[in-house]
Amino acid sequence: MIDLAAEAAALDAADPLRAARDRFDLDDGVTYLDGNSLGALPRGVAGRVADVIAREWGRLHIRSRDESGWWDAPQRVGDRLAPLLGAGPGQVVVGDSTSINVFRALVAALRLAQTDDDRRTEIIVDATTFPTDGYLAGSVARLTGATIAAVAPDRVPAALTDSTAVVLLNHVDYRTGQRWDLPALTAAVQAAGACMVWDLSHSAGAMPIELVEHRVDLAVGCTYKYLNGGPGAPAYFYAREDLIPRLDQPLGGWCSHRDPFAMEPEYAPAEGIAKVRGGTPEILSLLALDAALDVWTDIDIRDVRTKSLALTEFFVRCVGQLTPPDSVRTLTPLDDSRGSQVSLACRDAGTTMKALIAREVVGDYRPPDILRFGFAPLYVRFADALHAAGVLREVLR
């Protein structure tokens, strides 16, 4: 225990991201390891939201649409988010939920993949996917007449056929923390003539992604996990630049019209990424996210990934040394093919997590037997990882 404590102190002292912790409003009595479900509150958000409510809404009223930049916020915040996704200006728009954007992306991808002489009809969905993605893929298949196949990500290249139109995969498996090979899988799908859609909900803000470099077609994700946008924060939609002119998304509303205030009876999509907008933007949560993105000032996402791997490796090592033999089993890969979480299997996992939370170590539980611990590198310390492992030992004993 003494050696681990000394190691944690040395790692925290050498951490290039240690000052970022002060940008968050944290309860020092709680070890918070559930940033893969809901990120911590950045200090600047409360004041920003208060100003939006009291001044922009309370005093300026509808004038804030123009004077406070409400109307352009989905694209403006998208441009702020883009560097964390490895995307460029004009490629990301923020709005609606991840579920809605998954639906948009799948239908748009089907339309991109189908031509007059190539009527591809198969959707391949991640067999280990977060349930919503699978539900929506099934809904899109029923609505469009497409077929659907559930395939494990590492088996996707062998499952591709001339009928495959679109493949939807999660970059990081929400249960185990397995990180899939985005560059290789994207290349395989595109070589087969299909469109690649990635759900980045469990990776954005925890590692470099490089959507432009790897020529990803479409991507979606939430902003309330490692991006710290807050509960109900709007999601994002990314499209490769050369695909945007051909993009035909199925949920075009008045805010994605080329001339929205003309109130024309016929729909005509806006130019650029604005065509992916839908209805009136969710201003309060959108501007909370805008303020939350301030914490990324001067942060190098490569440092975030380096710390993420070190934190998770250290936690696994602490658990191995401190917990009773054979009491837990690590499900998360021990090489670098993992996200920023550690998943452990144990008996009575639900009861175990409740006991951890009662002792102010907050992770989460996934049936039937998984304890999940999310390590947000901007505010989680090595000392926190050691403390959590020590409390887990007490609970398991």
Residues tagged active-site: 130, 199, 224-225, 372
Q: What is the CA radius of gyration of the chain?
A: 22
CA neighbor of 205 nearest in space, from 386, 13, 377: 377
> Following DSSP, what letter does each residue of 104-162 receive, concatenated?
HHHHHHHHHH-BTTB---EEEEETT--HHHHHHHHHHHHHHT-EEEEE-GGGHHHH--T
CB count in 10 Å sphere of residue 370: 19
Half-sphere exposure of 65 (CA within 13 A, CB side): 7
d(CA 125, CA 116): 24
Beta bridge partners of 195: 166
- Count the Cβ atoms, other than its own, within 10 Å of residue 379: 23
Bridge partners of 219?
198, 238
Contact predicate 195/249, CB 8 Å: no
Per DSSP, the residues of 240-267 read -GGGGGG---TT--GGGBSSGGG--SS-
Any idea what the Cα angle at residue 303 is, between residues 371 and 79, rounded to 5°?
Answer: 95
Q: Which residues contact 321 (CB under 8 A, 6 or more apart)?
A: 4, 389
| CA 44/CA 143 separation, integer angstroms | 43
